[in-house]
Amino acid sequence: MIRRAEEKDAPRISALLRQVLEVHAAVRPDMYRSGTQKYSEAGVLDLLKDPDCVLFVETDETDRAVGYAICFRKTVEDDGPIVGRRELYIDDLCVDEAERRTGVGQRLFRHVKAYAEENGFDWITLNVWNDNAGALAFYRQMGLKERRTILEYKID
């Protein structure tokens, strides 16, 4: 079942955030430290209070979160050459390691997509590391296409 996250989900989301960080640390050790995470449990609780944040979880039969999608509502104002739009930015989408390749990620993404359509968003956006081949393949399978490319040159 997919539902909006609640305070009781914060410890589990926090644990899943550690899994995400380890994936990022593996593909970009120059940018991420293993053993850390993006949001602490307290940070997750803050997200639940943020009016611009929408946090969904998929739960198992015991109501334990097996995946989540952290999304932020963003508005780009119509200004001169810039066309105004509403974007739903997926800040993080994670499926528990033990549940990967079982459809949880697809269901979460489809739920986010339905939410965006029902609430008048123009775009769903997200960032993914080029070295994260699994995530890239997943998002392409879900119909996402590259919008822009950020290039880098590492100074040693």
Could you report the per-residue pLDDT of 2-11, keeping only the tens digit for each? 999 999 999 9
HEC assignment per residue over the chain: CEEECCHHHHHHHHHHHHHHHHHHHHHCCCCCCCCCCCCCHHHHHHHHHCCCEEEEEEECCCCCEEEEEEEEEEEECCECCECCEEEEEEEEEEECHHHCCCCHHHHHHHHHHHHHHHCCCCEEEECCCCCCHHHHHHHHHCCCCCCCCCCCCCCC
pLDDT over threshold 90, residue 153: no
Tell me, what's the pLDDT at 156? Answer: 86
- What pLDDT, in 10s, does the model give residues 13-24? 999 999 999 999
Residue ranges per domain, the chain? Answer: 2-141
Q: What is the pTM of this model?
A: 0.93
Spacing of C-alpha 86 from chain mean position: 17
Per-residue model confidence (pLDDT) at position 21 = 94
The answer on pLDDT for 154 being more than 90 is no
Average pLDDT of span 25-35: 95
For residue 91, give the nearest of 45, 62, 142, 55 by alpha carbon. Answer: 55
Q: What is the mean pLDDT of residues 92-102?
A: 94
Place of tokens 């996250």: 5
Residue type, 76: V
- Look at the domain 2-141 and name its fold: Aminopeptidase (3.40.630)
The answer to whether 80 and 51 are in contact (CB under 8 A) is no
